[in-house]
């Protein structure tokens, strides 16, 4: 969205576009994962509840989606590297509109 080698969002609209992207992801995955974007807010309380005596049932709740906020940020880093390797470095800086 902010890559200068790509067609970018107009400068003043970048915060709005990022906000809309967050809302879009949240509404898409919010029902399954409880709108959990922060892995510390997902894994820490579940681990504490499991150690406190509730058992492994806390990891089975919500169709076992507890791992998505933990794995998602790590997968997105790999996606960023793949973008730079496959797409980003194919366009020189002078080719910008």
Q: What is the pLDDT of residues 55-64, one digit of tens each?
A: 888 888 777 7
List the domain boundaries for the chain. 11-95
pLDDT at 19: 92
Q: Are 50 and 59 in contact (CB under 8 A)?
A: yes
Q: Report if pTM > 0.75.
A: no
Q: What is the pLDDT of residues 4-19, one digit of tens each?
A: 777 778 888 989 999 9
DSSP 5: T
| 27-34 average pLDDT score | 75
pLDDT at 33: 67
Q: Which residues have a Cβ under 8 Å from the Cβ of 3 and sit 6 or more positions away?
A: 88
Percent of residues, the chain, with pLDDT higher than 70: 90
Query: How far apart are the C-alpha atoms of 66 and 57, rounded to whole Å?
Result: 11
DSSP 91: S
Q: How far is CA 82 from CA 8, 51, 76, 85, in A?
A: 19, 38, 10, 5
């Amino acid at each position: 969205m902010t890559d200068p080698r790509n067609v970018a969002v107009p400068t003043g609209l970048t915060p709005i576009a990022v906000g809309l992207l967050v809302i879009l992801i949240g509404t898409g995955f919010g029902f399954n994962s409880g709108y959990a974007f922060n892995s510390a807010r997902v894994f820490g309380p579940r681990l504490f509840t499991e150690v406190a005596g509730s058992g492994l049932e806390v990891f089975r709740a919500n169709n076992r989606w507890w791992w998505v906020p933990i794995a998602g940020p790590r997968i997105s880093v790999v996606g960023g590297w793949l973008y730079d390797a496959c797409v980003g470095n194919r366009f020189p800086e002078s080719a910008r509109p």
